[in-house]
Structure 1
Amino acid sequence: MIAYTDTILKLELKKEIGVEGRNSTVHIAYDPQLDTDLVIKKISKTDFTKVEEYFTEAQMLYFTQHPNIMPVKYASQDEQNVYIAMEFMEKGSLNSLIEERFLTPREIIKISLEFLSGIHFMHAKKLVHFDIKPTNILINNANKAVVTDFGTSKYLNDYGFASPDKLYAFHVPPEQFNFGRFSFFSDIYQVGLTMYRMCNGNDFFLNQLASLNINNPQELGIAISNNKFPDKKKFLPHIPKELRKIITKSLSMNIEHRYQSCLDMMNDIAILDNNLDWGYNEITNTHSTVFYKTGTHLSEVSILQNELGHWFTEGYKIRIDNGTRTRINKFFIDDLKTKQDAFEAVYKNL
């Protein structure tokens, strides 16, 4: 007979961290035993149907130790809750980052390759995450992206499928409505949707719901199954066409048309090398700015729409020498039909 030793664990739960689509609470907590702040995921025991499921998520995290997967420090329980202790990452989540500003394509590629590496490792263990989204990608203290929150993760069965207990509504893959069988391809779809949000920002993503007049989960399901959400043709203008193609492929309605593995997706992302450092600011619906810095040169261009609805660009290429800025090339093109046409003109001429 196994003899267990009961221990006392003290935690001071401090700030609660908001989690998108959460089924638990997450806190920054002080652990006096380790004399450090940790992140504590607190899960009510009422969420489990069996006692042996209490520590399934913690065991999955421990089983999939990888540089791009959140390390688990320990797991514990009291009468009402299960607690999973993880490293506190001050830089926060990917969601926080994309709420602050638009990312450059190079940043999107770097972060995506990092968290895809962690997901690829999970898949090698026959584990499907099922909840890949910006709030579940954290930036660690070494500025690397790590995957967290295995609360919905499942192992594949003998037939290569898995059934999640619940899915985050905005990231439900189309197979939920078509044939109801989930596998690694469901994660690849959610990776694509996470990258789509990295490219365009959350407002761009969520405003599509308003434009489609979606007000409840049923209407959202219809829009996803009819390939109307998200709009795979809409990207902010600074996102290169090659990166758009990768994301669009991962979001294919038919799983046979998606990437067949995370590794295949990573290989295509890794070879992108054009127009990766453009930054983007959206001032109004009719006025955006783009900028690109390389070495001692900086390009700054405004993209504007006139009263006739036509787009035009104006800006400069600037040489920076010991803090002195010298305009070396003025940039102006008018009578462009779309905002994307304007940005393509910038790509070609600067």
Structure 2
Amino acid sequence: MDWSCSVITVSPQIPNYEILDEVAEGGMAKVFKARQTLADRIVAIKIISPAICLNKEFRQRFIQEAQITAKLNHPNIIQIYDIAPFEDTFFISMEFMEGGSLTERIRSGRLTRDESTRIILQLAEAMNYAHKLGYIHRDIKPGNILFRADDTPVLSDYGIAKSLYHRGDLTTTGSILGSPPYMSPEQAMGRQLDHRADWYSLGIVFYQMLTGAVPFEATDPISLGIKHKQEPPPPLPSHLRMYQQLMDLLLAKEPERRLSSLDEFRAHLEAIKNVPVDTEATCLFTVESLKTAHGESAAQESPTSTRRTERGGSVSSGVWRALGVVLMIAAVVGYGAYKNMTRPAPTYPFVVVTEPVGATVTFAGEEGAYTPGASLPEGDYEVEVTAKGFWPKTFTLNHSADHRSHYVSLKPAKTAFTVDVTPADAKIRILNIQPKYEEGIPLDPGRYLLEVSAPGYEKLTRWTEISGEQFTEQVFLVEKDALESLNIAFVDIPGGKYRMGFDDGGVLWGGDPGQEVTLAPFKIMAYEVTFEQWDACVADGGCTNKADDRGWGRGRNPVISVSWNDAEEFAAWLSVKTGRSFQLPTEAQWEYAARAGSRKRFSWGDQISHKFANYGKDDCCGGLVNGADKWQFTSPVGSFPANQWGVHDMHGNVWEWVQDCWSESMKGVPADGSARTAGDCRRRVLRGGSWYSPPKSMQLVSRDANGVDVRYQVNGFRLVETPTQAPAAGAATQ
């Protein structure tokens, strides 16, 4: 919006604001104290000045100030409430600062060293926050530093701020904006700026807070800019010498050598905080004051004038003359002794600034305990620096009049942590940290909860204490039983006698009265083989068919789409892996284990129920969700109650392959319960029904058959293990 300009009245009438007083007038705008009536709060109203209103660039800066400041949300940056048009111009409504400006506090001469440190650190935090968001201030000075009623310092006036992330800028190349006493050398020269320019300006402000004056003064901006570029700042007074190294870093001419890190700045202030005032500053009579007393100053004072001591008192000229006489007498009397004296070596405050802040500093030699700010002669000093979480280090520090504050930095004590584990493919987790384990992961020294697991091995969980630059933990996992690792459980089936293919309902197999079979004890899987177990066989190279789960889920779901030949592969693989002998059950074993002593149509009784099995529609065929049967297709193994002998899912879920060749008749069933090898061996028997089957296919005597290579989504299997010993005495009879 390009507003035209008009004269600002003494008390402008702005809707929703009651003007209370005019508080300031700057080069760009007038500032009024006002009450925002609807919000019922005191605010500052800043209205663009008529003198610069016609200048489009300055109008844009006025808008930019509000837009930038509104994006900055920090306790030490002024808050913007509103920006809106007013008559032929516009205004900014912002937080009203009742505590005045830093300029006023510096002029009062009442800023203490601690107070100056508190203020400058908060301003540095605000400045650093703005830098992280991509904005440099470019005009940091005492006049732009205000105070709230609670004494909180606040950075204001982002009118000439610059975005670090956008090339579009109101300042053309070579133009100079800012306040000359506080400009960095690169700003004074009109060069490209970054955040380091603000750190220089902050250093000038800090210098002025400590001393009461800026380090450079000149009669015109050009001369002042040259001083910023070429002249070193005057050294700090002796009682502020502990700040000298920090000030040198802040006011470095080259940006790349300038301190521009908030952490480093904070570390310097922390180290300086407890340094006592230099005793040299408390000396009543200095060499310069004695020269003045003897008439050696360039501008002589009258005999009746008084002179100021460094402590601020006054001493008459007569006293100075008397003191001169005393010193002359003392010089004559003590001259002979003086000739034989060795003049004491000069001493300077010794300060070690550490990163991290608060690290412990001790002398490695015989200098005694380290005390921040203690006066020491020039020379090299070895100090040992330690801090929790960092590697200790010994530094040799050259101490002199020009190097009194020494910055040292420790490396974080990260330990390269490695787990040397057997087996090598084990999975490793560190449970009490978020980062994922990788070989050589850098960790802080300390205790870590380690979890190591691998298929076929007992999981290990234990705490380990790591230290040093490198640490290797040796782990040997204990191999567990192969069946346990695969979550395969077997149920012991007692030996016994029963009539196969017959129940209390009468003859069921093509007019055959059934066949009496006597079985030796054996073991049968409590559940059908799952995808989890099948996938382990595939991964180990024992099974070739990856088996399609049809999108119904793997894991604990029964494996489907496996042929009779596939089931034989799995049995052979598991036998080799465990050193035991497993095979598909015979038809006689399967029915015997499914009955669990029952002579009913189903192991639980004569009535079919979805409470006990996963099966299909009554009128054939297709999956059905009904009551406890929550699955349209296969259900996870063990989802229904086991029979009396602890075997699950013998009815429904999936048809189960058995060893026997197919035959329509009961004739020829071996009386010892072994597999029938006569008949059509290109087809093998399936028992138990599936999720797809109607109720009649769920009966204990129901049978089906498929070719040995057929892979249907309704077919699965389970295995048995037959002991080699003879049947136990007292076998059960069904």
Contact 2:207 2:247 in 1 (8 A): yes
How far residue 109 of structure 1 moved from its aligned partner, in angstroms, is: 0.8
Question: Which residues in structure 2 correspond to 1:314-325 (within 5 Å)?
Answer: none
Whether 1:78 and 2:99 are equivalent positions in the alignment is no
1:167 is aligned, of 178, 185, 188, to 178
Which structure features the higher share of helix residues? 1
Instruction: Specify whether residues 225 and 103 from structure 1 end up closer, same or farther in structure 2 by C-alpha distance, changes over 3 A only.
Output: same
SS of 2:273's partner is: coil
Cross-structure match for 1:216: 220
Q: Letter of the aligned partner of 1:192 in structure 2? A: G
Instruction: Specify whether residues 50 and 117 from structure 1 end up closer, same or farther in structure 2 by C-alpha distance, changes over 3 A only.
Output: closer
Q: For residues 124 and 152 of structure 1, what CA distance do their matches in structure 2 show?
A: 18
Contact 2:22 2:33 in 1 (8 A): yes
2:23 is aligned, of 10, 16, 24, to 16
Instruction: Specify whether residues 289 and 18 from structure 1 end up closer, same or farther in structure 2 by C-alpha distance, changes over 3 A only.
Output: farther
Name the Cα RMSD after superposition. Answer: 3.7
Instruction: Specify whether residues 265 and 56 from structure 1 end up closer, same or farther in structure 2 by C-alpha distance, changes over 3 A only.
Output: same
Contact 2:48 2:59 in 1 (8 A): no
Greater relative contact order structure (CA < 8 Å, 6+ sep): 1
Deviation digits for residues 206-243 of structure 1 (CA, Å, limit 9, x no counterpart): 8x63xxxx322222222222226xx331x34432x232
Q: Letter of the aligned partner of 1:23 in structure 2? A: M
SS of 1:55's partner is: helix
SS of 1:138's partner is: strand
Q: Letter of the aligned partner of 1:17 in structure 2? A: A
Whether 1:128 and 2:130 are equivalent positions in the alignment is no
Cross-structure match for 2:273: 273
Whether 1:187 and 2:194 are equivalent positions in the alignment is no
Q: For residues 199 and 81 of structure 1, what CA distance do their matches in structure 2 show?
A: 41
How far residue 127 of structure 1 moved from its aligned partner, in angstroms, is: 0.5
Higher CA-based Rg: 2
Q: For residues 133 and 211 of structure 2, what CA distance do their matches in structure 1 show?
A: 32
SS of 2:123's partner is: helix
Cross-structure match for 2:625: none
Question: Which residues in structure 2 correspond to 1:147-162 (within 5 Å)?
Answer: 147-157=155-165
Cross-structure match for 1:205: 214
Q: Letter of the aligned partner of 2:33 in structure 1? A: I
Q: Letter of the aligned partner of 1:286 in structure 2? A: R
Contact 1:14 1:30 in 2 (8 A): no
Q: Letter of the aligned partner of 1:169 in structure 2? A: P
Contact 1:54 1:82 in 2 (8 A): no
How far residue 277 of structure 1 moved from its aligned partner, in angstroms, is: 7.9
Contact 2:180 2:188 in 1 (8 A): no
Cross-structure match for 2:229: 225
Contact 1:155 1:162 in 2 (8 A): no
TM-score, structure 2 normalization: 0.35
How far residue 266 of structure 1 moved from its aligned partner, in angstroms, is: 2.5
Unaligned runs of 5+ in 2: 1-13, 282-305, 325-345, 350-372, 376-734
Cross-structure match for 2:308: 286
Contact 1:174 1:253 in 2 (8 A): yes
Instruction: Specify whether residues 35 and 260 from structure 1 end up closer, same or farther in structure 2 by C-alpha distance, changes over 3 A only.
Output: closer
2:54 is aligned, of 40, 46, 50, to 46
Q: For residues 59 and 25 of structure 2, what CA distance do their matches in structure 1 show?
A: 27
Instruction: Specify whether residues 76 and 162 from structure 1 end up closer, same or farther in structure 2 by C-alpha distance, changes over 3 A only.
Output: closer
How far residue 86 of structure 1 moved from its aligned partner, in angstroms, is: 1.8
Deviates more, 1:62-71 or 1:265-274: 265-274
Contact 1:130 1:152 in 2 (8 A): yes
How far residue 53 of structure 1 moved from its aligned partner, in angstroms, is: 6.1
Contact 1:104 1:276 in 2 (8 A): no
Q: Letter of the aligned partner of 2:219 in structure 1? A: N
Deviation digits for residues 227-260 of structure 1 (CA, Å, limit 9, x no counterpart): 26xx331x34432x23232122111111111113
SS of 1:197's partner is: helix
Contact 2:176 2:189 in 1 (8 A): no
Q: Letter of the aligned partner of 1:232 in structure 2? A: P
Q: For residues 16 and 117 of structure 1, what CA distance do their matches in structure 2 show?
A: 28
Q: For residues 17 and 47 of structure 1, what CA distance do their matches in structure 2 show?
A: 21
Aligned length: 282
Deviates more, 1:178-187 or 1:7-16: 7-16
Unaligned runs of 5+ in 1: 1-6, 291-301, 312-340
Identity %: 23
Contact 2:17 2:34 in 1 (8 A): no
Q: For residues 99 and 151 of structure 1, what CA distance do their matches in structure 2 show?
A: 25
Q: Letter of the aligned partner of 2:205 in structure 1? A: T
Q: For residues 151 and 59 of structure 1, what CA distance do their matches in structure 2 show?
A: 10
